[in-house]
Structure 1
């Protein structure tokens, strides 16, 4: 039988002695009253881009959904198993989220895989390859641009993918309706792992800009 990783146990001990002790009352309120976050973050599962750390959030403040390359599928009520769609449904319909942020990041492995269609899949199931097919022809369009360097192509697709996910998010009827009523705002963001910078998508132009801090 494998032993539970020691560093995780030590981390939990530090959490109990530090943050939990400082915010014990908040944790107890969250346990008894329930959660009521105002913002949902759809982010990549990359270990280097944790929304709770990037936004310095408190317990219960963010409803975070993470998947490979922070992709959002189109609305498909076909009886299949749709984990990301289920998370969106719960956040919007049950929690009454006021903001949804689709946050991508630099050096994304999923985006890199999409730009390398000829590379061998990690496993015969190729779940990553099939998942990234959600981007349609976008990787091919960007990948064939010889005027851009490989790094520029990757950054471009990371950001274009965010815009694509936001368009897919708006195919959910309740998202589109609430946004039209001004009760829900949809945002795009891109995080640079190497510099820590956060770039925000302009809702009108789609350009990514660094906000004034």
Structure 2
């Protein structure tokens, strides 16, 4: 049977929900903004890259209330950036970063951590260590990027409770900023004033965005 002859998967409540949203988008988001979408056909020119978590509760476009084409977004478990490396492999975050910095020439990169982050919690408790791939191994390998940052958090706050979890979540933002600066293109552009790196933290519990003051190491509510 040819692919075009394969029957469509049966409808589901989940698909129906998505299609309802698509129809709303067509009537309220796409049709009234035809000029904007026509401009985007010619290409994208976002000035900001946002590195965020895949968590379904934390959508950067919603948090910052931006239109299509305004921000270039990469989302993954715990909003992590790996350090620069040239070994063979599939480096999705690194490829997106290279594209944003070298091709799109974004002027700012914002690392957005968030509250109640399952990836950061797992890094703190190490509950996924020893899991086989497909049963936690991929996640465990990925969040091992936080192993070094975990040590002082666990020593100061333990490994359970919201105080420890928030400390780990915010430490994750600092790790990603640190790793961003291992990329030669990022380091050079930041040094020459062509690129700004920022850390931020969104608290799901109260909807408040906090910005990182790298000099002090503390996060403060955005004005």
Specify the TM-score bucket, using the shorter chain as the normaliser.
over 0.9
The answer to whether the aligner puts 1:110 opposite 2:119 as a matched pair is yes
- TM-score normalised by length of structure 1: 0.93
For structure 2, the residue ranges without an aligned partner over 5 or more in a row are 1-8
Greater CA deviation, 107-116 or 1-10? Answer: 1-10
Query: Which of 187, 204, 210 is the matching residue for 1:193?
Result: 204
The answer to whether the aligner puts 1:80 opposite 2:103 as a matched pair is no
Secondary structure of the corresponding residue to residue 113 of structure 2: strand
C-alpha displacement of 1:2: 3.7
C-alpha displacement of 1:147: 6.8
Equivalent position of 1:168 in the other structure: 179
CA RMSD, Structure 1 to Structure 2 (Å): 1.8
Structure 2: how far apart are the matches of 1:135 and 1:188?
16
Equivalent position of 1:101 in the other structure: 110
Equivalent position of 2:19 in the other structure: 9
C-alpha change, 1:132 and 1:61, in structure 2 (3 Å) is same
Paired residues of 2:125 and 2:159 also in contact (CA < 8 A): no
Equivalent position of 2:193 in the other structure: 182
CA deviations on 1:54-96 (whole Å, 9 max, x unpaired) are 0000110000000000000100111211000001000000000
For structure 1, the residue ranges without an aligned partner over 5 or more in a row are none
- TM-score normalised by length of structure 2: 0.89
| Residues 26-105 of structure 1 aligned to structure 2 (within 5 Å) | 26-31=36-41, 33-105=42-114
Structure 1: how far apart are the matches of 2:204 and 2:136?
30
Count of paired positions: 211
Larger Rg: 2
Equivalent position of 1:24 in the other structure: 34
Structure 2: how far apart are the matches of 1:112 and 1:148?
8
Equivalent position of 2:4 in the other structure: none
Structure 1: how far apart are the matches of 2:47 and 2:222?
21
Secondary structure of the corresponding residue to residue 90 of structure 2: coil
